[in-house]
Amino acid sequence: MQQHLQQARQLIADARRVVALTGAGISAESGIRTFRDPGGLWRNFRPEDLATPEAFKRDPVTVWEWYQWRRQLIAAASPNAGHLALVRLQQRQGLTLITQNVDGLHDRAGSTGILKLHGDIWTLRCTACGHAWHDETHTFAALPPPCERCGAMARPGVVWFGEALPEVVFRQAAEAAAAADLFLVIGTSAVVFPAASLIRQRKNCTVMEINIERTAATSNADLALRGPAGEILPQLVMD
């Protein structure tokens, strides 16, 4: 492992265009549950009941209750050493940060220009007029909350199963991935598409995975570091 860490440190230091794709695993050490690990959200809840446009149409209050619960848990959490190491890396040599996470912990850590493939749990969007806005309310007066502009029903500003990813964001992510000479895959099971399609072996680009276990991305990785992101990442970017 020490040898791998040394090699990884060098690869990062030498890289010119670093891209990182993060998943729920990077927030695990902040106490936020992942989706597919033991104890993960999709082990206890059915995505089709809570994270699809059909579920919201059927029962918006239940869907909103679930999102409000998650907003409260996330609000009580803090960015961890993994999030902070990515801030350090961005400040030191530049980094395009692509995330599947909606928790906003990368923002709170201080990363900038984050490409959020699956939206943001702190954004609300009107189902009628389309207005979107940032809202950090922990407990809404009523569920579903109303649009701040027109008063119609608002929805969480996240991407649900069966919905398209934000087009511009995905294009920017794909362009950054195509131009990268180092692609870090951090804390994701890499089974949700199209996000996982960004992870590809290409000439002139090293793919480095950081995860506590083997994933669908491992076979595409030139180097796989096994361990918690909050422990490994700080070791990779220390001066």
Residue nearer to ligand OAD on the CB measure, 17 or 125: 125
Q: Does 123 bind ligand OAD (CB under 6 A)?
A: no
Q: Does 170 bind ligand OAD (CB under 6 A)?
A: no
Q: How far is the CB of 65 from ligand OAD (least distance, A)?
A: 17
What distance in Å separates the CA atoms of residue 27 and residue 188, rounded to the nearest whole number?
11
Q: Is 4 in the active site?
A: no
What distance in Å separates the CA atoms of residue 187 and residue 86, rounded to the nearest whole number?
13
Cβ atoms of 89 and 109 closer than 8 Å: no
Among 12, 85, 109, 159, indicate the residue that binds ligand OAD (CB under 6 A).
159
Size of the site for ligand OAD (CB under 6 A): 24
| Tokens found for residue 35 | 């989706």
**CA of 200: how far to CAs of 26, 115, 175, in Å?**
20, 18, 13
Residue nearer to ligand OAD on the CB measure, 93 or 218: 218
Among 5, 9, 37, 93, indicate the residue that binds ligand OAD (CB under 6 A).
37
Binding mask 207-236 for ligand OAD (x = CB under 6 A): ----xxx-x------------xx-------
Footprint on residues 180-209 left by ligand OAD (CB under 6 A)? 187-189, 192
- Active-site residue (options: 4, 106, 118, 131): 118
Dihedral angle computed from the Cα positions of residues 109, 112, 117 and 121, in that order, rounded to the nearest 10 degrees: 50
Q: How far is the CB of 29 from ligand OAD (least distance, A)?
A: 5
Q: What is the 3-state secondary structure (H, E, C) of 153-208?
A: EEEEEECCCCCCCCHHHHHHHHHHHHHCCEEEEECCCCCCCCHHHHCCCECCEEEE
Q: How far is the CB of 200 from ligand OAD (least distance, A)?
A: 17
Residue nearer to ligand OAD on the CB measure, 51 or 176: 51
Burial class (CB in 10 A: 0-12, 13-18, 19+), 113: exposed
Cβ atoms of 185 and 199 closer than 8 Å: yes
Chain contacts with ligand OAD (rule: CB under 6 A): 23-25, 28-29, 34-37, 40, 51, 100, 118, 159, 187-189, 192, 211-213, 215, 228-229
Active-site residues: which are they? Answer: 118
